[in-house]
Structure 1
Amino acid sequence: MRQLVYSVATSLDGFIAGPKGEYDWIVRDPTIDFGEIFRQFDTVVMGRHCYEFMIREGRSPKELGMRVFVASTTLDPEQHREVTIVGSNLPATVAELKRASGKDIWLFGGGTTFRGLLDAGLVDRVEVSVIPVLLGGGIPLIPAGRRWPLQFKDSRTFPSGIVSLTYRVGTEPAI
């Protein structure tokens, strides 16, 4: 079965974006092979905010070279034909994607989307790249909710000071 992998950059104090959604604080490290990272996926799931931010930045989801699913109850699918808009029951759609053949599925950004799929028991791995910066506020890695145990799988430190951490999601939420 395919795995759903939440792969995201975060500040040391746990924010995936600044207070206004900015990400200019993310350090670029030339030793990180993004091509290698992207090759493990053939599908990406993202929330509406991440998708709209990508569009505002002048980027096309086609650049990712993957099937793109966007969780949104407000976007009109006719206006966004390059992606699949999932207007209801995202967990059912993701469960179906996981059962289909293919590479792993990248859950890109969006703490709220992550929280919903985590609580539905669908996230298999969490890959967090900790950027050496303190933002002091912004969009949190994950909104408040119940706790989930994680099992350490791997870590890697890059010359820029980025620390990449990989965890497997536990099967039972912590109390």
Structure 2
Amino acid sequence: MRKVKFYGAISLDGYLADENNSLEWLFKYDDSDIMDKSYQPFIKDIDTTIMGRQTYDDLMSMTDEFPYKDTTNYVLTHNKINSDKVISKNMPIEKLVTSLKEKSGNDIWVIGGGKIVSTLIDHRLIDSLQIQITPDILGNGIKLFTSISHSSEFNLIDSQRFGQFIDLTYQLKGATA
């Protein structure tokens, strides 16, 4: 069965983005090592991405070309997106993920979105979390984990240092690798 994975960087105090939804604080780092040794091995097993509308809009504000053109891409939104690169979905994330997990294919990457990640954790639909932590303390912004109503336990399966980043990989307890 397909695995659902979160992969992304956060500040030391747990923020995905600053209070302006910006990632500028993250771009000051030389990330070539982490891209080669962490991201590239991760992305090779991904054929589907899921993100929220805010993440999609933020991503498109940083680039002229959609970066995940070799995958099937879902954006959770109330309004259709006019792009042949993404599929707009207006449905609960847990229903979308449950249906995607039942289809054949490679792994599914949940990109950004603390609400999405937290909802999937609540429904035990995230199989692994691969989090890169920077030494920045932002103080406020968009948290990776928002309101989670059920506790979940993850096992640390790997950790690596890449310059100022620590790359931690956790697997949901009871999930298979």
TM-score class, shorter-chain normalisation, is 0.7 to 0.9
Contact 2:18 2:142 in 1 (8 A): yes
- Paired with 1:81 and 1:68, the residues of 2 have a C-alpha distance of 10
**What is the rounded CA distance, in whole Å, between the counterparts of 2:69 and 2:168 in structure 1?**
23
Query: Partner of 1:51 in structure 2?
Result: 56
Please give the alpha-carbon distance, in whole angstroms, between the structure 2 residues aligned to 1:142 and 1:64. Answer: 28
| 1:100-142 Cα distance to aligned partner (Å, 9 max, x none) | 2221110010001111222122110011100121112111111
Aligned to 2:19: 19
* Residues 104, 25 of structure 1: alpha-carbon distance in 2 compared, 3 angstrom cutoff: same
CA 140–67 in structure 1, closer or farther in 2 if over 3 Å, else same: same
Q: State which of 162, 165, 173 in structure 2 corresponds to 1:162.
A: 165
Q: Which amino acid aligns with 1:5?
A: K
Equivalent in the alignment of 2:33: 31
The answer to whether the 8 Å contact 1:61/1:68 transfers is no
TM-score normalised over the length of structure 1 = 0.88
Note closer, same or farther for the CA distance 1:38–1:12 as it changes in structure 2 (3 Å cut): same
Tell me which stretches of 4 or more aligned residues in structure 1 moved more than 4 Å. Answer: none
Within a 5 Å distance, the mapping from 1:64-75 to structure 2 comes to 64-73=69-78, 75=79
CA contact 2:121–2:148 (8 Å) conserved in 1: no
Paired residue type of 1:154: D
Matched with 2:124 is 121
- Native 8 Å contact 2:160 2:168 kept in 1: yes
Q: Hey, what does 2:99 align to over in structure 1?
A: 96
Q: How many residues align?
A: 168
Distance 2:69 2:158 in 1: 25
- Could you say which residue in structure 2 is the equivalent of 1:143? 146
Which residue number in structure 2 is paired with residue 110 of structure 1? Answer: 113
For the residues of structure 1 that align with 2:160 and 2:121, how far apart are their CA atoms? 24
TM-score, structure 2 as length reference:
0.87
Equivalent pair of 1:54/1:60 in contact (CA under 8 Å): no
Query: By how many angstroms is 1:62 displaced?
Result: 5.2
Superposed CA RMSD = 1.7
CA apart distance, 1:61: 3.1
Is there any run of 5+ residues in structure 1 with no aligned partner, and where? none
Runs of 5+ in structure 2 lacking a partner? none
Helix, strand or coil: the match of 1:13?
coil
